Amino acid sequence: MYPLNTWYVAARSHEIGSTRPLGRRICNKAMAFFRQSSGQVAAVEDFCPHRGAPLSLGFVQGDTLVCGYHGLAMGGDGKTASMPCQRVRSFPAIASYPVHEAHGFVWVWPGHPSQADVALIPQFEWLGNPAFGYGGGLYHIGCDYRLMIDNLMDLTRETYVHSNSIGQKEIDEAPCQTRVAGDHVITERYMEGIEAPPFWQMALRLNGLPDDRPVDRWQICHFTPPSHVMIEVGVALAGNGGYHAPDAVKAASWVVDFITPETATSMHYFWGMARRFKPTDPELTEKIREGQGKIFAEDLEMLERQQKNLSAHPERKLLMLNIDAGGVQSRKVIDRWLAAEQGVVA
């Protein structure tokens, strides 16, 4: 269903404070995240070995996570540290998970700890780059994480789901092309001499550009495993080179989609936008974050209702069109990763 020997975004850094743990299920593994006295984040199985209580209902004390049921303290390595008036150091260890924190995100490796390598955490142009301004959020969505990948790798839906924000008929009319480079799937679409939709009109205004002139628009979707989708989007005043236009005449961004499976039919969706214009303007960051959050919220009901239909009719085969190529190829990459983990020749 989902690869385990890889890194997923587990949380945004600010979600994990210094006194209370964060409980989150990742790849169907219940985990408790907590910040130790050094500030470093640790992750252990959300299961107290004493009576099975969730450790995420406890509290942080020094370098330990204290169970809120009877006070048993667990270390970040999954070993029992202490318990008032009891001898518990012989308790068997619970699972612990490799964690790495960088650029406002906490990453976790749910598979074999011995295979975890921080060098395998993906690097993106915008991540930690001061030339970009970033704002984002988190949605919990009741659907298979692969449905979100399908959703993001085919932006034809924008004409219908997002008709009042980023959708327009020209998306339907412009052909999209999909290509695969190893495990990297790219689907791209370019539109020339069109009217900017409402969200991009706002972006042009916020970048000090006119919003009533024809623009060239682009959408370039990048899937990389296990489940990340980064989308280059933007508009440029028509006649200036489109995607390659100078920054002075365009509004360009990366749509950020970190998709983390929770269960077979639910996921954590870390969304955001990293923009290339006015990166240090906090008011602009908030305006764009608010606008993008509303756009993403429009997908929620569609995806959750889609999942209910698919769960009710597992025997029905879905139809595929050329616009589905990005999602189809992305799923093939995921299947190859799963086969490799299971030692199966794909």
Query: pLDDT (tens digit, 0 to 9) for every residue of the chain, 346 residues total?
Result: 899 999 999 999 999 999 999 999 999 999 999 999 999 999 999 999 988 999 999 999 999 999 988 888 999 999 988 777 777 677 888 999 999 999 999 999 999 999 999 999 999 999 989 999 999 999 999 999 999 999 899 866 554 454 555 656 666 667 889 999 999 999 999 999 999 988 889 889 988 999 999 999 999 999 999 999 999 999 999 999 999 999 999 999 999 999 999 999 999 999 999 998 889 999 889 988 888 888 888 888 889 999 999 999 999 988 777 778 889 999 999 999 999 998 865 4
In angstroms, the CA 235 to CA 217 distance is 4
Nearby residues of 90 by Cβ (< 8 Å), 6 or more positions away = none
Contact 59, 20 (CB under 8 A): yes
pTM of the predicted model as reported, rounded to 2 decimal places: 0.91
- Residue 91 has a CB neighbour count (10 Å cut-off) of 17
The residue written with tokens 């500030």 in the block is: 39
Q: Does domain 133-341 have CATH number 3.90.380.10?
A: yes
142-163 burial, b if ≥16 CB within 10 A, otherwise e? Answer: bbbbbbbbbbbbbbbbbbebbe
Query: Residue ranges per domain, the chain?
Result: 8-120, 133-341
Token output for 204 = 């042009």
- The CATH number that domain 8-120 falls under is 2.102.10.10
